[in-house]
Amino acid sequence: MSLFQEIELPTGHKYQQPLGLFINNEWVATNTTLETINPATEQVITKVYAAGEKEVDAAVAAARGVYHSWLQVPGEERALKMLKLADILEQNAELVAAVEALDSGKPLHSNARADIDGVVEYLRYCAGWADKIHGKTIPLSNNRLAITRRYPLVVGQIVPWNYPLSMSGWKFCPALACGCPLVIKSSELTPLSLLLFAQYVKEAGFPAGVFNVVSGLGSVAGQRLAEHPDLDKVAFTGSTATGAKVMQSAAANLKNVSLECGGKSPLVVFDDADLEQAAKWASFGVMYNSGQNCTANSRVLVQDTVYERFLELFKKQILEDWKVGDPFDENATLGPVISKTQYDKIQRYIESGKREGARLVLGNEPTGQSTGYFIPPTVFADCNQNMTIVKEEIFGPVVAVAKFSSEEEAVKNANDTIYGLAAMVFSKDFHRAHRVAEQLEAGSVYINSSNDESCRVPFGGFKMSGIGRELGESGIDLYTQSKSIYLNIGNKL
């Protein structure tokens, strides 16, 4: 098998897809391959080479080997390389977005392109930090002071399939700004765009060893990264169950760990809210990316006095906004879910909702697709806190709606979950909205909106939703460690 394959996209464009591992700025073949499947057609797109422990060790050795020389490169120079990389990605955004649409099933025009534009934006934002990562001077007395310095880490990064390049960017952008050599493992389900992006890293002039990409199984390559003794840190985005395993593996070497895991985000609608806007945001917040979003507002809590009215508006909005279709169809806004395994899992949740007594408001509509893992927008009403679809993360276009009577009940039910990634509050009463937002146990709370985050604002979870904060200045802090140096400039012992 070659290290590259010509692939023709549904747009008619042909390109050369890298298939190997990207280690030390070279493409590497292995004895094992992974198939990647188009979820809209269920057909094999290609095979990529998969890393075993030996290849992960080689990638880590490359990153560790360049650490000291890369440490000497001024922040200004790192920034220029990042800005060049952003320009290259922007020039190739249509291609990369089409590759992601093919590999992940996300609609090209309404979803995939925005993801790539977000990576360009975040590269430029983090480039601005590259020459501003410094410590402090701390006076101790007239003749004594201390200074702190911040040092980059050698980093392993494990990323999910729902946002292949976007979630990778949340990790590699701040790491590159801080001067961290890194090894990043793509999801075995969506490896193509990150491999394509690795070419641009080399083109932008980053030295060999700074940016390494391995495709591979989580149980093999991911496990080896998590436990690797030569890495200073591991950053992970994915399920809570897998995050717990990563943390356990990293503990063997007391490795620095950051985790962004699952969610079951509540969206609370009070009776004084703008119900039409609440319905629009709630629709967007749970159906975007086919519901495969850790901050999806998959629980909607509505005050009883406006409950049925909201349901009418919510159903109408979903039917207007979400058109199931092929990812390359310009009119499609809802693509397939990622795999047969995920499709079957979501169907089991839908059946559990019916079996446990929830009222099906939407979900029996035909998708119009003869192949692919398509699930129509599914809305359950009259849910209660004990239902499986209320307690567990579904990760699909399925939402559970319940009613509440008082503000206290709304807060109590919203917080009744092991997760705490995001929450949403809709009310025209600013004092109430802010009061409730303060009480919600979530890392991000949106007042009168949903899922409109910015790369300038910290992002992360409470409870079982993770550890650490990505994005903003907090994302920069994740990728350095501090050293304190004491200076005695006159005092004798």
Kindly name the residue from 100, 260, 393, 441 that is annotated as catalytic: 260
| C-alpha 318 chain-centroid distance | 24
- Spatial CB neighbours of 258, under 8 Å, sequence gap ≥ 6: 233, 234, 235, 236, 460, 466, 467, 468, 470, 478
Rounded-to-integer distance, Cα 466 and Cα 237, Å: 9
- By CB neighbour count within 10 A (0-12 exposed, 13-18 middle, 19+ buried), where does 46 fall? buried
Q: Of 453, 447, 442, 405, whose CA–CA distance to 429 is shortest?
A: 447
* Residue 185 backbone dihedrals phi, psi, to 5 degrees: -105, 125
Residue 82, number of CB atoms within 10 A of its CB: 26
CB 382 within 8 A of CB 295: no
Rounded-to-integer distance, Cα 411 and Cα 440, Å: 7
Q: Output the CA–CA distances (angstroms, integers) from residue 109 to 32, 90, 112, 367, 479, in the order listed.
A: 34, 16, 7, 19, 33
CB 430 within 8 A of CB 420: no
Rounded-to-integer distance, Cα 265 and Cα 422, Å: 5
The answer to whether 35 is a known catalytic residue is: no
What positions carry a catalytic annotation?
Answer: 260
